[in-house]
Amino acid sequence: MHNGQLGGHLKLRQKLDGMIPLECYDQRYGATDSEAIFLVAAGLGLDQAPIVAMEQAVGRVQALAQEANHTPHMRFAACWSDGLKVYAARYASDRFAPSLFYQIRDDGIVISSEPLDENVEGWIEVSPNTAIATDGRTLEQRDFRP
């Protein structure tokens, strides 16, 4: 799941594709910035350091938009998993970070871009520039600084 945008994505798409490592490029099936960011992160060690690799990928992709002076440089709220844990992050280069929430339930932790039910009070908003990780029972938070 990725909500957000890379400023000037269509104008930067060729350069963005060039950031995807050759060993990951055969997994590029679509044309979205979301898929490209994930594949860049995969090439930076997403399987060994899921949050650090995503920070590096988001930072590198954001730099493309900054260099070309396209705004917003980066708006990013995303979830990804290694099969054991679910990771998520909320970030923006401006003050408009896309929304990201989690809810602790008896049967586990749910992460969503928006509250999934009418009990809005049961949902906790992830602060901008924050990453979270959960194994379904516990939740860890840390700064997310691309």
Residues whose CB is less than 8 angstroms from the CB of residue 7 and which lie 6 or more positions away in sequence, other chains included: 65, 70, 71, 72, 73, 74
* Domain locations along the chain: 2-136
User: How confident is the model at residue 119, as a pLDDT?
Assistant: 80
Give the pTM: 0.94
User: How confident is the model at residue 133, as a pLDDT?
Assistant: 98
User: How confident is the model at residue 116, as a pLDDT?
Assistant: 92
How would CATH label the architecture of 2-136? Answer: 4-Layer Sandwich (3.60)
Cβ pair 71, 65 in contact under 8 A:
yes
pLDDT digits (tens, 9 = 90+) for 101-138: 999 999 999 999 999 988 888 999 999 999 999 999 99
Which residues of the chain fall short of a pLDDT of 70?
Answer: none
User: How confident is the model at residue 118, as a pLDDT?
Assistant: 84
